[in-house]
């Protein structure tokens, strides 16, 4: 059976599985739609949390960006992993004990204010749409290559699939779909990694192969990769170029941003008890660690294979995978010195991402129409394809290629569905039911949630078609926005009796506005100034969420100190949340 047929078979089978689960587990009430009736087993919730959290950025883009930037990419590993530990161990059990449906529910009740709830809803929608842009972009990339359609068509197909099971199933359907998606995702990630580790180092464990010697040699894999890179003019792979302060701020922004992501937090509202929430957090950490400890190895394997297979090779002799991804518009070559060979080194080969003409070039390549930059390099490789193309570059069997296609789609679709659910519940439950239309019935609320999800799918698709950056970078911005808005309000809401509604509202607005303005200025208004010498204190837009968080905390405390303290019943509520009394019992409210 040829590879393309296997791809259709694997992807079609997984889609049929997801849709079947969504039909079987469709939601019939708002409790099932919002939190799966709080009846999900801790192990299953751990798997669903892993799938929800390990998005397209984790599966597709994280190893890709590490393979290109080397040590500098470690901030994603440290930040996302550390942030999940922070969320799972320090915040999730308290939020579960509070017993509400959503994060804005917690903010509104804790800060005794419909205005605070409204600000939280705006933050949820803002963050979730920023995050979902990366997921839909990931869906488009996978479809464009494996189903042989353009990226925009791939995004539209992904929209249709997500629409079906998120609108129909709600949290109940999404939870059990995500369990299946985690199984597909982790199997698809680990199988190629084991293959590649065996091929390059002879070690079947990728995490150990990463630090092992090259097969048949005394040279360590990373030493070989450093040599290959420096010979072509790149920075040493194991050296970083970012300043210490920027590394710290990016890592911190990713950590606290993770702890403030609403679609991950809501997963801990689906367990029967607070104790089960703690158990599911531990299971999720185990399931997540399997992929995250493998990602650096996958990045190194991909970079090694790329550097050894392409530079200074005649276009007429390139391997078949190159032309396949070239046809998908994610690899491109422009012969600047007319020697018919691919020159690869530091610098951008084109003015932005390549645009193609249908007319083949002189050597039969896809003709690039946008003007080249002065840089000497001739090769363009989209970072987001490195994990997906890895099995083809290494010439692995067709079923492995089909498997990673199914895994990439599972990663993007699982998180996209979780984000869209958060958006829809924020609109239907927090905005309509709790704020604007408190008298609507359960059926009307459920209908509003499904309509909101449908609209959100369309908006998410538009973001996927017109993405602002690479998948991992888009997601990093979402984490920064979450760090600057939600995290301080949640932490202070749990651990500070003095934080009041005026302080929380002012803090969230200041943190979100500052972080958003900083990112937009450097990434969209003046991208030519997006360099270390122009950043505030040398902090990049990816790390500015940490400074936004600091501003949020300072403003919250300052405003809280000069305004009235929270009512006595709110202070008693905070005390009740923090004391683990009855932690093993089901929360009635």
Q: Taking the CB of residue 474, how many other CB atoms lie within 10 A of it?
A: 24
Run of H or E residues at 381:
strand 379-381
Domain coordinates of the chain in residue numbers? Answer: 3-303+396-468
The CA distance from 446 to 325, in Å, is 43
- Residue-level pLDDT, tens digit, the chain, 589 residues: 788 889 889 888 988 888 788 777 666 666 666 655 677 888 888 888 888 777 777 787 788 888 888 888 888 888 878 887 887 777 777 877 776 667 788 888 888 888 888 888 887 777 777 777 767 777 777 777 777 777 788 888 878 877 776 666 667 777 888 888 889 989 999 999 999 999 999 999 999 999 899 888 889 999 999 988 888 888 888 888 888 899 999 899 888 877 766 677 777 777 787 788 778 888 888 898 898 899 999 999 999 988 888 777 888 888 888 888 888 778 888 887 778 888 888 877 777 677 777 778 778 888 887 766 565 678 888 887 888 888 888 888 889 988 988 888 787 777 777 777 777 777 777 777 777 777 787 778 778 877 887 888 888 788 777 765 554 456 667 778 888 887 888 889 888 889 999 999 999 899 989 998 998 888 778 878 888 888 998 898 888 999 999 999 999 999 999 999 999 988 888 888 776 554 444 444 4
CA-closest candidate to residue 407, choices 187, 205, 146, 192: 187
The CA distance from 554 to 367, in Å, is 54
Q: Is 440 exposed, middle or buried (0-12, 13-18, 19+ CB in 10 A)?
A: middle
**CA terminus-to-terminus distance, the chain:** 55
SS3 of 108, please? helix
Are the C-beta atoms of residues 299 and 63 closer than 8 Å to each other? yes
CATH class of 3-303+396-468: mainly alpha
Residue 18 Cα distances to 58, 59, 138, angstroms:
20, 19, 18
pTM for the model stands at 0.81
């Amino acid at each position: 059976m040829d590879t393309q047929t296997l791809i259709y078979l694997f992807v079609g089978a997984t889609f049929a599985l997801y849709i079947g689960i969504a039909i079987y587990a469709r939601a019939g009430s708002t409790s099932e739609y919002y939190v799966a009736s709080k009846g999900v087993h801790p192990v299953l919730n751990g798997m669903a949390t892993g799938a929800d959290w390990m998005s397209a950025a984790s599966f597709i883009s994280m190893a890709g960006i590490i393979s290109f930037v080397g040590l500098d990419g470690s901030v994603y590993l440290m930040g996302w992993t550390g942030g999940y530990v922070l969320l799972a161990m320090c915040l999730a059990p308290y939020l579960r004990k509070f017993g509400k449906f959503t994060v804005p529910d917690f903010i509104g009740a804790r800060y005794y204010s419909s205005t605070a709830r409204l600000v939280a809803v705006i933050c949820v929608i803002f963050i979730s749409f920023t995050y979902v842009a990366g997921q839909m972009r990931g869906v488009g990339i996978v479809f464009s290559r494996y189903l042989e359609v353009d990226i925009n068509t791939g995004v539209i197909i992904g929209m249709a699939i997500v629409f079906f099971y998120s609108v129909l199933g709600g949290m109940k359907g999404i939870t059990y779909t995500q369990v299946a998606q985690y199984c597909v995702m982790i199997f698809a990630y680990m199988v190629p990694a084991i293959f590649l580790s065996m091929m390059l180092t002879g070690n079947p464990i990728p995490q150990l192969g990463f630090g092992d010697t090259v097969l048949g040699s005394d040279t360590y894999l990373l030493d070989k990769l450093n040599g290959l890179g420096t010979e072509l003019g790149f920075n040493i792979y194991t050296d970083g170029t970012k300043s210490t302060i920027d590394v710290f701020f990016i890592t911190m922004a990713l950590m606290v941003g993770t702890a403030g992501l609403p679609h991950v937090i809501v997963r801990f509202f689906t367990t029967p008890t607070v104790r089960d929430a703690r158990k599911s957090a531990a299971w999720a950490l185990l399931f997540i660690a399997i992929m995250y400890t493998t990602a650096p190895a996958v990045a190194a394997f991909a970079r090694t294979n790329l550097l050894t297979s392409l530079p200074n090779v005649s276009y007429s002799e390139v391997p078949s995978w190159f032309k396949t991804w070239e046809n998908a518009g994610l690899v491109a070559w422009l012969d600047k010195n007319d020697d018919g060979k691919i020159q690869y080194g530091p610098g951008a080969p084109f003015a932005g991402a390549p645009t193609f003409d249908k007319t083949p070039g002189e050597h039969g390549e896809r003709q690039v129409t946008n003007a080249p930059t002065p840089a000497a390099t001739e090769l363009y490789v989209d970072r987001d394809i490195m994990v997906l193309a890895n099995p083809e570059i290494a010439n692995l069997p067709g079923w492995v290629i089909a498997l990673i296609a199914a895994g990439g789609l599972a990663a993007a679709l699982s998180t996209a569905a979780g984000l869209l659910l958060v958006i829809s519940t924020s609109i239907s439950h927090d905005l309509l039911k709790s704020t604007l239309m408190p008298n609507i019935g359960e059926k009307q609320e459920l209908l509003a949630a499904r309509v909101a999800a449908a609209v959100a799918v369309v908006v998410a698709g538009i973001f996927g078609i017109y993405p602002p950056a690479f998948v991992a970078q888009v997601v990093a911005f979402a984490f920064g926005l979450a760090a600057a808005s939600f995290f301080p309000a949640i932490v202070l809401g749990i651990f500070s009796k003095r934080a009041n509604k005026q302080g929380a509202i002012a803090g969230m607005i200041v943190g979100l506005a500052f972080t958003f303005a900083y990112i937009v200025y450097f990434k969209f208004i003046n991208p030519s100034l997006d360099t270390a010498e122009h950043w505030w204190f040398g902090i990049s837009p990816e790390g500015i969420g940490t400074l936004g968080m600091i501003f949020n905390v300072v403003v919250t405390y300052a405003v809280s100190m000069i305004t009235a303290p929270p009512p006595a019943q709110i202070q008693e509520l905070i005390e009740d949340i923090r004391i683990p009394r009855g932690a093993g019992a089901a929360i009635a409210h």
